[in-house]
Chain A
């Protein structure tokens, strides 16, 4: 019964948005509303590592996804790496700080207290993660069960989004359809990879290393990774083998 309710709520939202079948942002938006969260993020394994963000919603969602990419650790990484849920009731606790020295404190600083991360499991392999962040600790008893249902819905959406024949010749069909056009996170995120491509030429390194340099720059200068990427693409920030120059 509950599973049917979740699916119906997602489909209603998608219909109101003119989408059928639902896209990943419809799953995340329904989730953030129905469980009273401050952020919901979905990510997948990508060529750049275990955590390639796909969608982030809620007041803290985008910042949390970006933070995890920047510091390279957090519940999303861990749930995909271990193929099992990661449930942290108190991000401010010493145990959480020890687990993720960079992520935990910064996430608490973004106003989150509790996180449940669920692997998107196909057979025995986690292809991605769904994370739910809450601002306060007292959760409903159904939070865990709901999280599992939304993780299932997210996986279903991703699998329906595969268009095996798409090769990207048509920008609207690159072999995968995740979110609707106009999704603020999905629209801007690709710039991070474009910037990595540009920096790889500037530094004469592989895109993966360029990506690491971008993340390091963002972290060291306490800037948002998307902001750093935007400046690279607009050519107001270039990297040189010795130092980054404005």
Chain B
């Protein structure tokens, strides 16, 4: 039974790598499946943003959501230690003194949790975040279960890294294309203005540039307006005539 559900789970996680992929969706599904398949009562995931700051990404219950936020606010807890060290962190009984995370332990017990296991989300050397698994009863999570949970977390990590790399490349393409398009449009606009005002191409550039400066607008934006033959082109040319006379 567990094996079959696990198989389905991996397929589900792998499916998120195709079109329409969403990281938050993936992590919610990771939390829900951990609760369903493993002997845990709740799960939550913290994810590092591009600058390395942790934020709450997913939680199986509202209680866990608050607990995770509490960790972030209070800057102590198993998820944080796990993220910073990159290795698994666990406490089999949050009621035993002395506690490694006194404030977190009290908050967790208030929510009805006694044991916690934190697993890193990582791909090779890149630390992405961490997943917390909570249990109501004291006692260490079965080793087999920990291995399964880590495997699920590893698959999720691949999905996250993949999505981030793709997002970056789209941004680069956008910037490169944007810059090159502006360059061409500026040249076309020089020609349009030169022809309409019966002036030299180099003078047309000077007209556009001073119009952009005087009106506090980007040159590329003004050039686009010129190419689209916007009404303001007449203003540009009349300013030019006035300053010449």
- The contact size tier of chain A is 35 or more
Would you give the shortest CB distance from A96 to chain B, in whole angstroms? 29
Q: Known contacts A167-B182, A193-B187: does B173 contact A127 (CB below 8 Å)? A: yes
- The contact size tier of chain B is 35 or more
A interface: dominant SS: mixed
Are the C-beta atoms of B176 and A162 separated by less than 8 Å?
Answer: yes
Among A10-18, A86-94, A195-203, the one that faces the other chain is A195-203
How far apart are the CA atoms of A122 and B196 in the complex, in Å?
Answer: 40
The answer to whether A207 has its CB under 8 Å from any CB of chain B is yes
Are the C-beta atoms of A200 and B188 separated by less than 8 Å?
Answer: yes
**B221 CB contacts on chain A under 8 angstroms:** 167
The answer to whether B243 has its CB under 8 Å from any CB of chain A is no
Are the C-beta atoms of A201 and B173 separated by less than 8 Å?
Answer: no
Are the C-beta atoms of B185 and A47 separated by less than 8 Å?
Answer: yes
Are the C-beta atoms of B180 and A195 separated by less than 8 Å?
Answer: no
Are the C-beta atoms of B180 and A52 separated by less than 8 Å?
Answer: yes
How far apart are the CA atoms of A45 and B183 in the complex, in Å?
Answer: 12
The winner among B175, B191, B193, B227 for most chain A CB atoms within 10 A is B191
Are the C-beta atoms of B184 and A162 separated by less than 8 Å?
Answer: no
How far apart are the CA atoms of A163 and B223 in the complex, in Å?
Answer: 19
Pick from A159, A174, A207: contact of B176, CB under 8 Å: A159
Pick from B170, B180, B190: contact of A194, CB under 8 Å: B190
The answer to whether B189 has its CB under 8 Å from any CB of chain A is yes
The answer to whether B177 has its CB under 8 Å from any CB of chain A is yes
Write the chain B residue with the least CB distance to A233: B201
**A207 CB contacts on chain B under 8 angstroms:** 188, 191-192, 227
**B227 CB contacts on chain A under 8 angstroms:** 197, 200, 207
Write the chain A residue with the least CB distance to B193: A197
Among B46-54, B123-131, B211-219, the one that faces the other chain is B211-219
**A200 CB contacts on chain B under 8 angstroms:** 188, 191-192, 227
Q: Known contacts A194-B201, A197-B227: does B191 contact A123 (CB below 8 Å)? A: no
The answer to whether B194 has its CB under 8 Å from any CB of chain A is yes
Pick from A124, A158, A175, A202: contact of B220, CB under 8 Å: A175
Q: Known contacts A122-B172, A125-B169, A197-B227: does B195 contact A48 (CB below 8 Å)? A: no
The answer to whether A184 has its CB under 8 Å from any CB of chain B is no
Write the chain B residue with the least CB distance to A238: B195
Pick from B165, B170, B186, B192: contact of A168, CB under 8 Å: B186
How far apart are the CA atoms of A164 and B178 in the complex, in Å?
Answer: 9
Would you give the shortest CB distance from A156 to chain B, in whole angstroms? 11
**B65 CB contacts on chain A under 8 angstroms:** none
Pick from A44, A45, A168, A191: contact of B182, CB under 8 Å: A168
Q: Known contacts A46-B180, A123-B170: does B223 contact A195 (CB below 8 Å)? A: no
Write the chain A residue with the least CB distance to B226: A197
Are the C-beta atoms of B218 and A168 separated by less than 8 Å?
Answer: yes
Could you list 21 examples of A-B contacts with CB < 8 Å?
A: A45-B177, A47-B181, A52-B184, A125-B173, A162-B175, A164-B179, A168-B183, A168-B223, A174-B179, A194-B188, A196-B191, A197-B187, A197-B189, A197-B191, A197-B192, A197-B195, A198-B191, A198-B194, A201-B191, A201-B196, A207-B227
The answer to whether A220 has its CB under 8 Å from any CB of chain B is no
Are the C-beta atoms of A164 and B186 separated by less than 8 Å?
Answer: no
The answer to whether B28 has its CB under 8 Å from any CB of chain A is no
How far apart are the CA atoms of A52 and B178 in the complex, in Å?
Answer: 13
**A125 CB contacts on chain B under 8 angstroms:** 169-170, 173
How far apart are the CA atoms of A29 and B178 in the complex, in Å?
Answer: 26
The answer to whether A190 has its CB under 8 Å from any CB of chain B is yes
> Quick one: which of A166-185 are within 8 Å of B by CB?
166-169, 171, 174-176
Are the C-beta atoms of A122 and B175 separated by less than 8 Å?
Answer: no
Would you give the shortest CB distance from A176 to chain B, in whole angstroms? 4
The answer to whether B209 has its CB under 8 Å from any CB of chain A is yes
How far apart are the CA atoms of A193 and B189 in the complex, in Å?
Answer: 9
> Quick one: which of A21-46 are within 8 Å of B by CB?
44-46
How far apart are the CA atoms of A169 and B186 in the complex, in Å?
Answer: 10
Are the C-beta atoms of B213 and A194 separated by less than 8 Å?
Answer: no
How far apart are the CA atoms of A49 and B179 in the complex, in Å?
Answer: 15
The winner among B187, B213, B219 for most chain A CB atoms within 10 A is B187
